[in-house]
Amino acid sequence: MRHRMPFVILALGLLFASLPLVAGAETRQANGPVSELPPLLTQSFAIFRTEPEELPPSMVKVLKPGIDSELPPSGGHGLNLSLAQKAVPPGHARPLWLVPGRDWVMLLEQPRRNQSSFGGSEGPIRVAIERGLSFYSGVPRTKDPHLMRVMSLVPDGVVAVEVGKGIRASVGHNVISRKVDQKKIWEHLRLIRGER
């Protein structure tokens, strides 16, 4: 028995010593970009059940360094720019872009011509399913400085979004876009569900 004990201790020591190497390899693999869409995303958002579309190069140039850095908020979620989806909400000329990841999703507004900056939001897929993923930005070339455009990604089954008291936005391709006075925008938008 005395001869076996050092062998068992040596074997356990080698096992524990190798765990960080195995865990490191899994972490590196888990942090790389996803190669396919997570089932939770495709089950909850019809827009992700269509073929991906090519993100404009100006957006890729801005987004890639943050996603590749593996640092939060964008890095480390496996976001894959090549799996991006374009969605045009009702009544909005410029498309919104959706970038999927392992557990995360980004919602971005395509920049105006000759602009490199753009607005957006990002967060966990589960949050987008429960209450939507939203952001708002100023409306250029308007006389009303308080006018904002509210944009949101919403799951299947949501037919409209109440962005303020009595102010609704129609859903198309899982997204909305609505101009609203910023004083009237609710902090938490209300998803109005209907039949699929």
Tokens 């040596």 -> residue: 10
Q: Read off the tokens for 156.
A: 């299947």
CB atoms within 10 A of CB 97: 23
For residues 30 and 113, the model is more confident at 113
Asked if the model's pLDDT at residue 26 lies above 80, the reply is no
Q: Which of 31, 58, 29, 159 is nearest to 117 (CA)?
A: 58
Q: Read off the tokens for 142.
A: 């308007």
Distance separating alpha carbons of residues 114 and 104, to the nearest angstrom: 29
pLDDT-above-70 percentage for the chain: 81
